[in-house]
């Protein structure tokens, strides 16, 4: 099928590349000339395992990039909207890019197509988009609006797209549902067919629930420390219960990224506007903020006043396998430490360039060994595999004090203690 993807961010590019790989004819559109230029050179502006290979495999015969939305929309059978919906000051979703795209689609509308919204949007937005398309079109041209929220995770985006746990289709007509099914005929996953508002709501409810799981396990980890229990075994013991499951029970410095914090805030706002105070979710966000302070308090317990102290941060990305530092708890922790006058040496395998844009005061190091030189404590904030295999014997020789605060319970505490480290994990 001839498909157009509006927006070449995470969701847009993964969607475009994977749909082209399946055999569709895909054009990805973006308003950023620099981005389109680099994509045409086969380069991707962010780190995502496996994505570049798929882009290269399909460009330029099945996958192309263009600044020209209008021409390409005219030729398309379906148009995916994958633009960002960031948080506004008050927590609500900023839909301005989405509405701009809707107007563009309206102006280009020439024959029947399905307009599919993949961006995370508050329930009711698809209908607003539909209205805008009608208002901006020549009139009397048939089209359908559909909602197909995306559940891919950064770091495993390609795998998540090709093998999703489920696919959600929200639409108003049989014709739209059948176009959606045809586009995704290569995926074998349960499909939930529903109305637009429900489809939109499923995305928010899913992200809010997962964020709740993370804050819940972080809260339990606090209690574990009070009572002498081990959070790793608590999570394991809970996870075997099929109703709970093992996923998203890893304690840490809190959830971050471009989705959970933004979507939780937006859902709180949506609930509030309808007259319901979503207290659980409010508390999930509060617990998440507290978690960063909790990690800092572990440092203080071991080092006393942090003013003037030199420490090392290993990991700046909001999780492993990404270079993304948006809402990263590691960045949040670093900011708290900087306010306290702590000096920080830092290393991340992929996220340092992005971190430099938001944290200019850190001393960025070429490798983890350099980052640990002369410091009084090492703080592990992102669960990169490479940190597990470091030569901690060698590192210990260059430290001022052998203290490791492992905010992800990533390292082997027992062997580090044997090496003479004061090892501090979370919830154990
Ligand atoms: C999340 C969802 O998992 C995706 O399904 C969704 O498509 C995406 O948001 C989105 O809305 O676009 P992502 O933000 O890439 O994906 O990252 P996750 O893997 O969900 O992790 C989110 C945060 O929670 C990270 O900071 C991670 O370190 C933290 N986390 C996750 C934990 O602290 N503990 C866990 O057990 C799991």
As to burial, measured by CB atoms within 10 angstroms (0-12 exposed, 13-18 middle, 19+ buried), residue 259 is: buried
Whole-number Å distance, alpha carbon 215 to ligand 1 midpoint, is 12
CA 207 to ligand 1: nearest atom: 2
**pLDDT at residue 332 is higher than 90:** yes
Q: Which pLDDT belongs to residue 115? A: 98
Q: How confident is the model at residue 45 (pLDDT cuts 50, 70, 90)?
A: confident
Centre of ligand 1 to C-alpha 207, Å, is 8
- Reply yes or no on whether the pLDDT at 118 is more than 90: yes
| CA 329 to ligand 1: nearest atom | 26
Rg (CA), the chain: 23
Q: Does any ligand 1 atom lie closer than 6 A to the CB of residue 256?
A: yes
| DSSP codes joined into one string, 229-260 | --HHHHHHHHHTSTTT-STT---SS---TTTH
Q: Convert 312-337 into a string of H (helix), E (strand) and C (coil).
A: EEECCCCCCCCCCCCCCHHHHHHHHH
- Ligand 1 in reach of 84 Cβ (< 6 A): no
What's the fold here for domain 195-428?
Answer: Rossmann fold (3.40.50)
pLDDT in tens, 284-306: 999 999 999 999 999 999 999 99
Among 47, 260, 261, 284, which residue has the most ligand 1 atoms within 8 Å of its CB, making it the best to mutate? 260
Residues classed as catalytic: 259
How far, CA to CA in Å, does 255 sit from each of 147, 210, 249, 360?
26, 10, 11, 23
pLDDT band at 233 (very low <50, low <70, confident <90, very high): very high
Which mutation among 119, 257, 326 tests ligand 1's pocket best, with the greatest number of atoms within 8 A of CB?
Answer: 257
What confidence score (pLDDT) does residue 259 get? 95
Q: Is 424 in the pocket of ligand 1 (CB under 6 A)?
A: no
Q: What is the pLDDT of residue 386?
A: 97
Whole-model pTM? 0.96
Which strands form 403-406's sheet, in the order they lie side by side?
363-364, 343-347, 310-314, 378-380, 403-406, 422-424
Please state, in angstroms and rounded to a whole number, the distance separating the CA atoms of residues 268 and 392. Answer: 44
- Interval 306-318: pLDDT, tens: 999 999 999 999 9
Helix (H, G, I), strand (E, B) or coil at 381: coil
Structure tokens at 393: 């014997």
* Average pLDDT rounded to a whole number, residues 238-251: 98
* Strand spans (E) along 54-129: 63-66, 78-81, 114-117
- Delimit the CATH 3.40.50.720 region(s) of the chain: 2-194, 195-428
Packing angle between helix 196-227 and helix 231-239, nearest 10 degrees?
140
Over 90: is that where the pLDDT of 139 sits?
Answer: no
The burial class, CB within 10 Å (0-12 / 13-18 / 19+), for 54 is buried
- Per-residue pLDDT of 253-287, as tens digits, reads 999 999 999 999 999 999 999 999 999 999 999 99
Put the strands of the sheet holding 63-66 in their side by side order. 63-66, 25-29, 2-6, 78-81, 114-117, 144-147, 167-171, 191-194
Q: 59 pLDDT exceeds 90?
A: yes
Ligand 1: which residue has its CA nearest to atom 16?
A: 153
Distances (CA, A) of 305 to 290, 298, 309, 337: 19, 12, 8, 11
Mean pLDDT of the chain: 97
Report pLDDT for 192. Answer: 98
Q: How far apart are the CA of 46 and the centre of ligand 1, in A?
A: 17
Q: What is the residue with the minimal CA distance to atom 29 of ligand 1?
A: 255
Q: What pLDDT, in 10s, does the model give residues 351-368?
A: 999 999 999 999 999 999
Peptide bond into 60 cis (omega under 30): yes
**What's the rounded mean pLDDT across residues 321-337?**
97
Spatial separation of the C-alpha atoms in residues 1 and 19, rounded to whole Å:
10
Residue 68 has pLDDT above 90, yes or no: no
Please tell me if the CB atom of residue 46 comes closer than 6 angstroms to any atom of ligand 1.
Answer: no
- What's the mean pLDDT in 6-20? 97
Residue 42 clears pLDDT 90, i.e. is over it: no
- 319 C-alpha to center of ligand 1: Å? 8
| Nearest atom of ligand 1 to the alpha carbon of 258 | 14
Distance (angstroms) between ligand 1 centre and the Cα of 220 equals 19
Answer yes or no: is pLDDT of 70 > 90: yes
Tell the CATH superfamily of the 2-194 domain. NAD(P)-binding Rossmann-like Domain (3.40.50.720)
């Amino acid at each position: 099928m001839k498909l157009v993807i509006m927006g070449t961010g995470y969701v847009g590019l993964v969607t475009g590349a994977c749909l082209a790989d399946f055999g569709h004819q895909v054009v990805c559109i973006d308003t950023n000339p620099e981005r389109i230029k680099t994509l045409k050179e086969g380069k991707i502006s962010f780190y995502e395992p496996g994505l570049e290979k798929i882009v290269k495999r399909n460009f330029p015969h099945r996958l192309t990039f263009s600044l020209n939305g209008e021409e390409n929309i005219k030729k398309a059978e379906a148009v995916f909207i994958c633009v960002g919906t960031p948080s506004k000051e008050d927590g609500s979703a900023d839909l301005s890019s989405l509405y701009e795209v809707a107007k563009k689609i309206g102006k280009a509308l020439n024959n029947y197509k399905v307009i599919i919204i993949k961006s995370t949007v508050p329930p009711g937005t698809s209908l607003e988009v539909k209205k805008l398309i009608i208002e901006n079109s020549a009139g009397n041209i048939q089209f359908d609006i559909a909602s197909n929220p995306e559940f891919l995770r950064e770091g495993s985006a390609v795998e998540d797209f090709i093998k999703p746990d489920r696919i959600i289709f929200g639409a108003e007509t049989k014709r739209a549902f059948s176009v959606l099914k045809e586009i995704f005929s290569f995926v074998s996953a349960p499909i939930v067919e529903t109305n637009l508002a429900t489809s939109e709501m499923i995305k928010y409810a899913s992200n809010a629930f997962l964020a709740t799981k993370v804050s819940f396990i972080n809260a339990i980890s606090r209690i574990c420390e009070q009572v002498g229990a081990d959070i790793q075994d608590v999570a394991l013991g809970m996870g075997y219960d099929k109703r709970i499951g093992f996923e998203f029970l890893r304690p840490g410095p809190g959830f971050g990224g471009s989705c959970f914090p933004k979507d939780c805030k937006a859902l709180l706002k949506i609930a509030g506007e309808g007259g319901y105070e979503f207290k659980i979710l409010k508390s999930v966000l509060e617990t998440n903020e507290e978690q960063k302070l909790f990690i800092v308090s572990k440092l203080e317990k071991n080092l006393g006043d942090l003013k003037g102290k030199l420490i090392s941060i290993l990991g700046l990305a909001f999780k492993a396998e990404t270079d993304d530092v948006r809402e990263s708890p590691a960045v949040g922790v670093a900011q708290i430490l900087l306010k306290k006058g702590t000096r920080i040496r830092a290393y991340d395998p992929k996220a340092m360039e992005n971190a430099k844009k938001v944290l200019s005061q850190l001393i960025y190091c070429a490798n983890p060994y350099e980052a640990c030189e002369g410091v009084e404590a090492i703080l592990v904030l992102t669960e990169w595999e490479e940190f597990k295999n470091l030569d901690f014997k060698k590192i210990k020789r260059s430290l001022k004090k052998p203290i490791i605060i492992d905010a992800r319970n990533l390292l082997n505490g027992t062997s580090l203690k044997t090496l003479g480290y004061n090892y501090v994990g979370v919830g154990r």
